[in-house]
Structure 1
Amino acid sequence: MSAGRFASMHSPSSPSARRWDGSRASAPQRRSLRIAPVSASRLLRCGQTTSCSQCGNPVEWYPGADDRLVQLHPHELRVARVPESCRWHVSRGIAHPSGDGSNWCRLTHDVLCPARPAPTTAPQLSGLRRSLALRTRRLLDTGVLTPPATPAEGAPPGEAVCRPARPIVQLLFVRYLASRPVDEIQCVAQTRRRTRCTAEILGPSGLHGVWTLAPVTVHHGQLALPSDVMAVYSLSALPYQEQLRWRAQRCRDHAAASTAGDLAVADWEPFDPLRHHAYIHTRLPTHGRRPGGHAPRRV
């Protein structure tokens, strides 16, 4: 074999930049998710996907046009399968309760959640609802999902309202409906291990609010409610920065760390006496842990 022919068959010393099929051989450099300093929201996109606390199925959070957070089913469906009143679409990160004219649409998780009564306006979604119910059953059987606690049999009347599962919290002159008891609200910040912080907002060294009985206020022209007062966990006496920490749903350590992003959506929901009348309690918590040890008062 001649030297020239051997040289033509010999592979070059440097590896080729492309594979045999023409694709690039060099793998792209992996980069971690970062938040721009000028971003209006510190929430990572992956933090908007979570699981329903009642059925365990995945949901996606989107801000609505009225600044309320909306839970959407993570997959699109053809409009032929979804009633017109149940159609949603996402435009520029905002969820809108209507179709966008295409053949696909989104729908809220409330319509499909097997832990809630099935709506009578969407019988064509019963198949998808059954599949989600089967997944909920598997989560319950494997212990991944814990069923909601029910009041013990023989408990005295009013025992279930001694520790509200979804309390009404007042901060920055606004009332919110929390998704869990006050002493179980978890920080939403991302840790250095890229996991959600396990600390609670109501830490042992933090400032606490006080349970009060506040009047139930409704808008002018609306129907009156059966009760005139309700139990509210008031944070109005705390400093302004402390109330901002509560609204951002961050522990004291991550409240000072401005570079840490959010890995979950804050659980605050603006309280509406008519929409959330089922969560109104007319007596103060008297059993279990009382955050801060403050004596309840009536306002």
Structure 2
Amino acid sequence: MHSTPHHPRHRWDGSRTNARPHRSLRLAPEPGTPLLRAGQTGRCRDCGNLIEWYHRPDHRPVPLHPKELPADFVPETNRWSVSAGIAYPAGDGTAWCRVPHAALCPAHPSEPVTEQLAALRRTMATYTRRLIDTGRFTPQRPAPARHHPNRPARPVVQILGIRYLAAHQVEDIHCLARSTSTRARCTQPLADPTCTPGTWRLLPVTVSTSRQLALPGQADMLVYDLMGLPYTEQVRWRSQRCRHHTATRAEMATSDWEPFDPLVHHEHIRTDLPDPAPRSSRATSRCHYT
């Protein structure tokens, strides 16, 4: 039995056929296109449940529950809709809607508003406990303070004149590319000790527009400034690649950069400089790029 039907070489009148055998669709081992952003599946770092990553109109990522829920069971403030791969914080008028994962995550202290969402959260909490008991999931805890005692957990990084809110500490941001040896995500950090690091500075609080506008009456904020690095080095940080995968386009995860908005991310604004980290002997050597 063959998956491809058999085609005779000649028709009934004796003419020769030009039928080509069907080929199954395959994915190239090294795709040259970037990672698809619409509906990228993943797991919550706090509870281990499935989530789907989408981008909002302002290009900020948002994790949504993978399944649609009846709109009658969801408050209007938690109704989301997805159109053309973009997530919008409002319902689309249908009887179904999407819900942000933060409203259902068992690791968050807030309780759902409706009984239906509370029941779904209990089901997700049971699944989290099952993952922990079987050893398939370990909740991520904050990085130990012994490495960087006075560093912000989510610093504001300035790259190519634009400020981004990082998802982790600067030393914990890893490459997005896929390792050619293990076929898994690269584990190399962006902060290479052999390259010149950025500088912690206190800069004015600005709004990200076509022109950086300073907010009046605001104290200076802590920023990890990379503007003093070469252009190629800043591009490497912005694309989130280590020195070995600067030319690789294939990505294994979403970017850890989120456009910084002082009105939205005000809880991450710090006004004091961190303690200087100990410098190793290798950190003094410069890294050159061609």
Q: TM-score range by the shorter chain?
A: 0.7 to 0.9
One-letter amino acid of the counterpart of residue 146, structure 1: P
Match of 2:48 in 1: 56
One-letter amino acid of the counterpart of residue 195, structure 1: A
One-letter amino acid of the counterpart of residue 261, structure 2: D
TM-score (norm 2): 0.75
CA distance in 2, matches of 1:190, 1:279: 30
> Which structure 1 residue ranges, 5 or more long, are not aligned?
1-13, 19-25, 294-299
> Is 1:280 equivalent to 2:269 in the alignment?
yes
Name which of structure 1's ranges 270-279 and 212-221 shifts more when overlaid on structure 2: 212-221
Residue 204 (structure 1) shift = 2.8
Match of 2:35 in 1: 43
Identity percentage over the alignment? 46
Query: In structure 2, the residue corresponding to 1:255 is in which secondary structure?
Result: coil
Cα deviation code 1:78-131 (max 9, x no counterpart)? 222222221112111111122233332211111112222325644541111122
Match of 1:238 in 2: 229
Aligned partner of 2:120 among 117, 128, 134: 128
> Which structure 2 residue ranges, 5 or more long, are not aligned?
6-20, 285-290
Cα deviation code 1:129-175 (max 9, x no counterpart)? 122223333444437223423988xx9xxx99602211111111111
Residue 277 (structure 1) shift = 2.3
Name which of structure 1's ranges 200-209 and 142-151 shifts more when overlaid on structure 2: 142-151
Mapped contact 2:160–2:227 kept (Cα < 8 A): yes
Match of 2:104 in 1: 112
CA distance in 1, matches of 2:215, 2:115: 32
CA distance in 2, matches of 1:250, 1:125: 39
CA distance in 2, matches of 1:178, 1:16: 49
One-letter amino acid of the counterpart of residue 62, structure 1: Y
CA distance in 2, matches of 1:72, 1:194: 27
Residues matched between the structures, number: 263
Distance 1:198 1:126, change over 3 A: same
Match of 1:296 in 2: none
Residue 28 (structure 1) shift = 6.1
- Alignment map for 1:170-181 (pairs within 5 Å): 170-181=158-169
- Alignment map for 1:123-162 (pairs within 5 Å): 123-141=115-133, 142=135, 144-149=137-142, 162=150
Cα deviation code 1:159-207 (max 9, x no counterpart)? 9960221111111111111111101101111233542111111123333
CA distance in 2, matches of 1:288, 1:160: 7
Match of 1:79 in 2: 71
Mapped contact 1:140–1:147 kept (Cα < 8 A): no
Mapped contact 1:88–1:98 kept (Cα < 8 A): yes
One-letter amino acid of the counterpart of residue 256, structure 1: A
Mapped contact 2:112–2:118 kept (Cα < 8 A): no
- RMSD value over aligned CA atoms? 3.7
Distance 1:263 1:147, change over 3 A: closer
> Is 1:205 equivalent to 2:205 in the alignment?
no
Match of 2:13 in 1: none
TM-score (norm 1): 0.73
> Is 1:29 equivalent to 2:20 in the alignment?
no
Distance 1:163 1:222, change over 3 A: closer
Distance 1:17 1:166, change over 3 A: closer
CA distance in 1, matches of 2:229, 2:123: 47
